[in-house]
Amino acid sequence: NAGVTQTPKFRVLKTGQSMTLLCAQDMNHEYMYWYRQDPGMGLRLIHYSVGEGTTAKGEVPDGYNVSRLKKQNFLLGLESAAPSQTSVYFCASSPRLLAGGIADTQYFGPGTRLTVL
């Protein structure tokens, strides 16, 4: 199993350009997440999905859109990139929730390093 993979690994955009980051998992997990990682701020949740065809906003959703048309894929889109979106983006997936709907272990991809000039 490849686990969680992310495409591309690196990308440089100019302000105003658009792009899509692809996350794929081969573990048949229901739950998928997009995070951004910035120095000194840990990981912040952008959007997440609790199953195929569903999406929900996380802590920092502005400027991003997502889609989960297939269970194994979770796409993150930037419609008009801004320098503030320069970051490392991580995708994660999880097979289940714990009792009470609590998040369980998440499995992370290797990340996409995005620079917006």
Partner 1 sequence: AQSVTQLGSHVSVSEGALVLLRCNYSSSVPPYLFWYVQYPNQGLQLLLKYTSAATLVKGINGFEAEFKKSETSFHLTKPSAHMSDAAEYFCAVSAPSGSARQLTFGSGTQLTVLP
Residue ranges that bind partner 1, judged by CB under 8 A: 4, 31, 33, 40-45, 48, 50, 58-59, 90, 92, 97-98, 100-111
Whichever of 17 and 30 has its CB closer to partner 1, that residue is 30
CB of 77 to partner 1, least distance (A): 21
Whichever of 78 and 109 has its CB closer to partner 1, that residue is 109
CB of 84 to partner 1, least distance (A): 18
Whichever of 17 and 111 has its CB closer to partner 1, that residue is 111
Give the CB-side neighbour count of residue 14, counting CA atoms within 13 A.
Answer: 0
CB of 20 to partner 1, least distance (A): 19
How far is the first Cα of the chain from the last one, in angstroms, to the nearest whole number? 36
Neighbour tally for 32: CB within 10 Å: 28
